[in-house]
Amino acid sequence: MANLKKQTVGFWLAVCTLILGIVSLIVYNVNVAGAGYFHGATVETGFRYMVIAIILAACVVVLTLIPVEGMVAKILTVVSDVLRIITPALFIASVLTIVSARVQGFAFIYFSNVEVLQEVQTPANLSSAHGAIANIVLLAVSAIVGIVGAFFSTRKSA
């Protein structure tokens, strides 16, 4: 507990990135498993990017909590810094992949002809589209928090 009290802004932003990434993964899974237009419509590449980014964010948090000094601390700081740059890039790649896979569905649900709009905009389809949008927004926020966090140190200087 005492170790958590003396953490830096960079550490807490890494924790926020990790939490947002986990929440976005949960929203993605609920969206794919739920009823509606995107039921069963997995985006494997976007999912992989998301999972790898979450694992890397967890590694950043764990590396920061390891109490080391000297040369090992410098090496862990460099590794952590590299991971804090890769993590938001993977979240952005996941956003772009998921958006490109979902854009046709969004167009179908929201911008269909007036004649078929009542048939297309069912509660299940709208709920599915809203879930996909929530997932995309959470991933984008994860990336932004990760980018901001990359500008702050995760270890206090000695």
pLDDT tens, 34-53? Answer: 999 999 999 999 999 999 99
Q: What is the pLDDT of residue 3?
A: 66
CA distance 69 to 94: 35
In total, the chain counts a number of residues equal to: 158
Number of helices (H) and strands (E), helices first, in the chain? 6, 0
Helix (H) or strand (E) holding 46: helix 44-65
3-state helix, strand and coil shares in percent for the chain, rounded to the nearest 5? 80, 0, 20
Q: What is the pLDDT of residue 7?
A: 82
Q: What is the pLDDT of residue 68?
A: 85
40: region left, alpha or beta (phi > 0 left; psi from -120 to 50 alpha): left
Q: pLDDT band at residue 17, thresholds of 50, 70 and 90?
A: very high
Q: What is the pLDDT of residue 112?
A: 85
**Per-residue pLDDT at 59 exceeds 80:** yes
Q: What is the pLDDT of residue 1?
A: 56
Q: What is the pLDDT of residue 119?
A: 87
Q: Write the pLDDT tens digit of every residue in 77-136.
A: 899 999 999 999 999 999 999 999 999 999 999 988 888 888 888 999 999 999 999 999
Instruction: Quote the pTM value.
Output: 0.91
- List own/partner pairs for 121-126 with CB under 8 A and 24 or more apart: 122/36, 124/35, 124/36, 124/37, 125/36, 125/37, 126/36
pLDDT mean across residues, the chain: 92
6: region left, alpha or beta (phi > 0 left; psi from -120 to 50 alpha): alpha
CA distance 134 to 147: 20
In one letter, which amino acid is 156?
A: K
